[in-house]
């Protein structure tokens, strides 16, 4: 059977960065065959069946899309079901492992430059002249790593796009002052860095801070969490914040939008990205239809996404479609911070560790569990008054868990 690239979301012409099998390899279902790298994450394409690899159709540097054939396999179940012959049937000659050569699809245009469509698109977004980038790939092909390294060195030419006119940070020979060590950035940080830089330069950021009294909510959460542990998952504060944020986004739809020229794209769905800390850096998987789910279902979704994020098993579709993002540092600490808007979204909620504080109830000070909220927003779409109303509404919902079901 032909093994093809499955649904990988809206991505096409995705570069192959690793080929993990060769002809003759015995694989089981879900064993990785190749690794792809999009502009948001890396992903492995698994084998859909148990069997033996007959031939491999791609090499490192090729680009593939959904439906592209990546290998041919003899399926184990089919082979076992075949009737035995008196003499073994002749075996077709196995194709030799192809030499790693420059693929036709690698994007060698009339300009003579070798780069994949993905690299060319990223170069346009960063306003980098690819002819000025030294390629380290096959036949001097410019890889994404070459492009990002060039960009980070501040060699992008001046222009009118992102980063134009910003002086480069001068390089320093730190070894002059003492011993140094150089370690490569993780793949996630190499990919997310330019995106964060682009968002910071394009979006006029403002951050609004508020507090939510979550004393009663946390008591209820602990009850639910105790029952959930028996079923193998946890009920965390983040599930309640997702629900409160979804209700607030429905109340104030401008924060659930994107700016497109002189128009505002208002989205009639609520998909919320959740920043997850992994050994290689932050990734932001997306919880879909948050406004239509209950606390327990959201808790199970979060547990599944967090586990797959840390294991590097997220798919491309897991990372797409967010309308709003939550970044929680509650498990680590802090008092406040300024999260960067994940453009083209227009707002992001940052939360840190809750603390007990004396709160005046009209007659005296009482201990209450207070949660700091930090809302960063795109000031072209959201003004200060709207941001304050949105955050106050969210805090109001978090202050009384009964309101989340209204």
Measured CA to CA, the distance from residue 253 to residue 112 in angstroms comes to 48
**Distance of alpha carbon 381 from alpha carbon 208, whole angstroms:** 14
Q: Computed over its alpha carbons, how large is the radius of gyration of the chain? A: 25
Which residue has 């950021």 as its token pair? 205
Token pair belonging to 339: 């999260």
- Whether omega for the bond prior to residue 290 falls within 30 degrees of 0, making it cis, is no
HSE of 22, CA atoms in CB hemisphere, 13 A:
5
Question: 255 and 346 in contact (C-beta within 8 Å)?
Answer: yes
Extract the tokens encoding 61.
């540097």
Backbone angles phi, psi at 375, to 5 degrees: -105, 110
Q: CA 129 to CA 159: how far, in whole Å?
A: 11
Query: Per the residue annotation, which of 197, 205, 379, 393 is the catalytic one?
Result: 379
Q: Is residue 379 annotated as part of the catalytic site, yes or no?
A: yes
Integer Cα distance of 103 and 63 in angstroms? 8
Which residues, 6 or more positions from 230, have their beta carbon under 8 angstroms from its beta carbon?
none
Count of other CB atoms within 10 angstroms of residue 12 = 15
**Token pair 């992008």 in the structure block, residue:** 156
Who contacts 398 (Cβ-Cβ below 8 Å, separation ≥6)? 212, 213, 214, 217, 240, 241, 244, 371
Rounded Cα–Cα distance for residues 203 and 338 (Å): 13
Q: What φ, ψ does residue 357 adopt, rounded to 5°?
A: -145, 150
Query: Which active-site residues does the annotation give?
Result: 379
């Amino acid at each position: 059977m032909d093994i093809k690239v499955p649904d990988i979301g809206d991505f096409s012409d995705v570069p192959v960065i690793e080929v993990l099998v060769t002809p003759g390899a015995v694989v089981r279902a879900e064993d990785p065959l190749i690794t792809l790298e999009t502009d948001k994450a890396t992903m492995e394409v698994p084998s859909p069946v148990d069997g033996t690899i007959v031939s491999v159709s791609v090499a490192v540097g090729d680009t593939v899309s959904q439906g592209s054939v990546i290998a041919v396999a003899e399926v184990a179940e089919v082979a076992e079901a075949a009737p035995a012959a008196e003499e073994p049937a002749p075996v077709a000659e196995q194709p030799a492992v192809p030499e790693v050569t420059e693929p036709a699809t690698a994007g060698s245009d009339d300009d003579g430059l070798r780069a994949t469509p993905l690299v060319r698109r990223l170069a346009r977004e960063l306003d980098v002249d690819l002819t000025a980038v030294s390629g380290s790939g096959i036949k001097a092909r410019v890889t994404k790593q070459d492009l990002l390294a060039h960009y980070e060195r501040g060699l992008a030419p001046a222009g009118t796009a992102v980063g134009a006119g910003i002086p480069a940070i001068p390089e320093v020979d730190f070894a002059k002052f003492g011993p140094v060590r150089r370690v490569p950035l993780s793949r996630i940080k190499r990919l997310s860095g330019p995106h964060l830089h682009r968002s910071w330069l394009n979006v006029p950021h403002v951050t609004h801070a508020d507090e939510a009294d979550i004393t009663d909510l946390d008591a209820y959460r602990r009850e639910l969490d105790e029952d959930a542990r028996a079923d193998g998952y946890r009920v965390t504060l983040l599930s309640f914040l997702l629900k409160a944020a979804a209700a607030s986004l429905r109340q104030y739809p401008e924060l659930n939008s994107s700016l497109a020229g002189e128009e505002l794209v208002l989205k009639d769905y609520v998909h919320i990205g959740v920043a997850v800390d992994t050994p290689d850096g932050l990734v932001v998987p997306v919880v879909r239809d948050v406004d239509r789910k209950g606390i327990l279902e959201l808790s199970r979704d979060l547990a599944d996404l967090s586990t797959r994020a840390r294991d590097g098993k997220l798919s491309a579709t897991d990372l797409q479609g967010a309308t709003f993002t939550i970044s929680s540092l509650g498990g680590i600490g802090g008092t406040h911070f300024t999260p960067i808007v994940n453009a083209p979204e227009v707002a992001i909620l940052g939360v840190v560790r809750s603390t007990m504080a004396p709160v005046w109830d009209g007659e005296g000070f009482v201990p209450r569990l207070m949660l700091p909220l930090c809302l960063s927003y795109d000031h072209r779409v959201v003004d200060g008054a709207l941001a304050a109303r949105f955050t106050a509404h969210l805090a109001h919902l978090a202050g009384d868990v009964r309101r989340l079901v209204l």
